[in-house]
Structure 1
């Protein structure tokens, strides 16, 4: 898969049309996933300004620090048709933003996660322009993945599956969560990721905290262990997969019982995915099964989140989101049950809504795994 497939030049034109339709004069995008989505440039975020000025009509300009111009020119950005302008240290780069606009701006869309100091500097540079979120425009373009993006997510899914398949090498009683996590992080890179985004190894009572992380606590014999891991591939697309293990002995009977309900809920929610079904309906499928088993209050979070160039993005599979699913939407299905002070469990797959159903991008078994 070439970068020209992942970052096609026509994205800029599509974004310009959407910008005009939204009543914005331009998008102003600093380093982050929106900038990479449109240009393929994985820019370094710093106090030095990097900003794509994408007018609704006219030539796009990528403003970069002089010392980072070689990186910008080596990226896919030039092939998309952007003009690159640089600024030297000690000069004020913000007038370059105003110069890059074809005329006065009354409304601009800023990258959703732009640093506050840049937001305020742009407000001073363009005092007559209302500031809105670029996500209003780009969210609708990014929410449906192209075939090349789905292929990139599948590659990421296979890479993280390969790490889970090796868990028996590291996860055993007596080792600490942190020791296991160190081995996992190395394996995530070995599997092809360029960065390790997160490693959760949560044993016993720590498994009852969905975002526990790791600790120096040794893993006990027969303890359930939640392992949630993910990273970023060279393509920029992310992996994210959770499996629950039992280390070195039989799991508590209570745990085995509720894991069976969790497994049923996760499988049913995956099977419910198809075009036209609402995001909240998929959430309800998982939640209703867990509630019927008596653990509704122990399911503490939404069923899923979108994934792509960001680890968490639209669509969110959660109560209150009536948006119908569409082909190309990629997201997690990850119900969990968490019993404070005792243990917890989560099962997570990344899936893609297809034209007639669903495709799992994580294909390792979801049954309870005894090591």
Structure 2
């Protein structure tokens, strides 16, 4: 992407800030900064870096003077003013000169407390709110370029899954299979691997189990959940496999989850509330008698990070609109026994949902 796209994003963010009644946005290093202007500092330290976007004004980026050359080379730097502050100066005083004295600003969710407290000290009349609270949809609606980046990341995760089906599971540690997944994601183009959940047997009943020393056994159900970044955009896929032939109950639970995932996918359309997609998946699982064992939301947004708005969860009334990308990942977790989760990334289109993961959702048998 070039300067023009970043300029459009910053202008859109300024308009969104005005519509939300904000004086502007203060964005520190993290996914919002990368998305808005393409700048990712080589090292995030205690030195303040902050992008200020205010309605009707050109955006400005304040950086440590020693990092100014790097900032000026960022893809979107031509659409903003870059200023530097020197060691020994108070960067919060410098930043405060740019801000409305009584203004309320949206700030990055990940802004260090050190920086927020510094701002409060230098601009005591200002107010601050987390971006997710005041502008939850800032990055939620993707353009065609972003959707295709996400599709490419999804295809790479699909390829990694297809390949891992051919590795040996029985007799190996969970962390060994997790290593296979990380290697395969990298081989298929990921620059960053964020997570490789491998939950075997009873460990699969913990949705966020970290792969450990447990040796996978014949007869185990294994939950696989893995993803990362490819060309700056995220992948996230879950499939559940069985080591050897599964029993009747295991097949039944897997089929209930598959049906719930399919029903939720079919419910995707513009205008439906996020919580209603969650309700569709939950209804299928509850009707089968496993309602108490579905213990997390149905989905989360994805983009330059793997978890971001929108969230498919009870109480979220925001409607889906074309361009929103999110996971659909119902699950059933039977304590001390096993778990099942099936997850695809889906984009809302004018006519319904489009899956960005296309590998089979049937129960796969591995050795």
Q: Give the structure-2-normalised TM-score.
A: 0.95
Cα distance, 1:105 vs structure 2: 4.1
Question: Which of 315, 324, 336 is 2:319 aligned to?
Answer: 324
Q: Which contiguous aligned blocks of 4+ residues in structure 1 show a shift greater than 4 angstroms?
A: none
Structure 1: unaligned runs, 5 residues or longer: none
**Per the alignment, do residues 321 and 24 of structure 1 end up closer, same or farther by CA in structure 2, a change over 3 Å counting?**
closer
Kept after mapping to 2: 8 A contact 1:18/1:137: no
Distance 1:64 1:162 in 2: 40
Question: Which of 61, 81, 90 is 1:92 aligned to?
Answer: 90
Cα distance, 1:268 vs structure 2: 1.2
Q: Give the structure-1-normalised TM-score.
A: 0.94
| 1:279 corresponding residue in structure 2 | 274
| 2:332 corresponding residue in structure 1 | 337
Secondary structure in structure 1 of the residue aligned to 2:305: coil
Q: Could you tell which deviates more after superposition, 141-150 or 174-183?
A: 141-150
Distance 1:170 1:115 in 2: 42
Question: Which of 188, 191, 196 is 1:194 aligned to?
Answer: 191
**Per the alignment, do residues 124 and 241 of structure 1 end up closer, same or farther by CA in structure 2, a change over 3 Å counting?**
same
Over aligned residues, Cα RMSD in angstroms? 1.7
Kept after mapping to 1: 8 A contact 2:228/2:235: yes
**Per the alignment, do residues 74 and 138 of structure 1 end up closer, same or farther by CA in structure 2, a change over 3 Å counting?**
farther
Distance 1:171 1:30 in 2: 44
**Per the alignment, do residues 297 and 282 of structure 1 end up closer, same or farther by CA in structure 2, a change over 3 Å counting?**
same
Cα distance, 1:70 vs structure 2: 3.1
Kept after mapping to 1: 8 A contact 2:267/2:277: yes
Kept after mapping to 2: 8 A contact 1:333/1:351: yes
What is the number of residues matched between the two proteins? 365
Q: Can you list the C-alpha shifts for 1:283-342, whole angstroms capped at 9, x where unaligned?
A: 111111111111111111111111112211111111222222111111100000111111
Q: Can you list the C-alpha shifts for 1:352-371, whole angstroms capped at 9, x where unaligned?
A: 01001110000111111112
| 2:240 corresponding residue in structure 1 | 244
Secondary structure in structure 2 of the residue aligned to 1:229: strand
Q: Could you tell which deviates more after superposition, 356-365 or 323-332?
A: 323-332
Distance 1:157 1:144 in 2: 18
Distance 2:317 2:103 in 1: 33
| 1:30 corresponding residue in structure 2 | 28
Question: Which of 125, 130, 138 is 2:127 aligned to?
Answer: 130
Distance 1:227 1:349 in 2: 12
Structure 2: unaligned runs, 5 residues or longer: none
